[in-house]
Chains A and B, each alone.
Chain A
């Protein structure tokens, strides 16, 4: 009897390669779009009713505006974003050699400002930073997410996975408890999604503005009554990286609209 049980266990283990307990299989991954009602979907689908596009328009203006003491615009080095920035956001957060760790798209923009434009960094969640990252990420709309494939970021993906699995806060909940184990159910009337970050920065009707993935993560952390990490903290970047690698293969939607 024990012999047969051992064989059954071995067969089950062999049939589930590379997937850890509770993880969502690639073909079962669904964007938050799939959890929304028809009205919110229609709002996202029409570029003249998607308020995120207002930020993309602002970002397009900033892209060609000279700034900093170097008097250079993004376009002076990168040219037309439609070509040069296509697919870029789909692989962020990406490894930065000088920092020795992964950086988010927002951090990359600020590194560019510091190193090449000699300009002051834009504060997190400021309109200009959100507009620039929305404009850059918009160039990847429809491109499949590939973040986390670079071997140099593997340890940080693992760090992010550990944080995702770790219970925290007064409610003692881990991200995985809702977003792996209980998606498709409801929390106070709102659908629980898989937490796939396909459309950031995105327009939340609740925020009435565009916001970054870090803002979203921080509000989840206050939701479970935990102390949220500061913007740009290595832990948030690692979580962001893990979430993007977890959404591998899903198309980018920036700027998405969510309730």
Chain B
């Protein structure tokens, strides 16, 4: 699915940088019913992880009360040039990945 990632392209070593992620997902709560009374099954993202050059630096568990197209923002320290890898996993075997690179001077 489509994802929008905002990682600064360049940073100074030791800088605190903000990472912003937005991904497409309906986040169906599992609590809603159709007009004829049947339960709409839950379909949400349950976990998000961010790896910085292979090391996990951020993880979040997501729950039914989180709105569609979840937006997550967090901070880290720019240590070395390399790659951020993002992964969203969820119900019905849902999995989506994205990545972004950074140059640290």
Task: Spell out A's residues near B (CB within 8 Å).
Answer: 46-49, 51, 53-55, 57-58, 205, 208-209
Contact = CB atoms under 8 A, between A and B. Distances in A.
A58 B4 CA distance: 12
Interface residues of B, number: 15
Contacts of B94: none
Contacts of B71: 49, 51
A127 to B, nearest CB: 9
A51 B22 contact: yes
A53 B69 CA distance: 11
Nearest to A127: B24
A47 to B, nearest CB: 7
A205 B68 CA distance: 9
Given A48-B22, A49-B20, A49-B22, A57 B68 contact: no
Nearest to A51: B69
Nearest to B20: A48
Given A49-B71, A208-B69, A209-B68, A54 B5 contact: no
Nearest to A61: B2
Contacts of A49: 4, 6, 20, 22, 71
A246 to B, nearest CB: 31
A205 B24 CA distance: 14
Chain A to chain B: the 3 pairs with minimum beta-carbon distance, closest first:
A48-B6, A208-B68, A57-B2
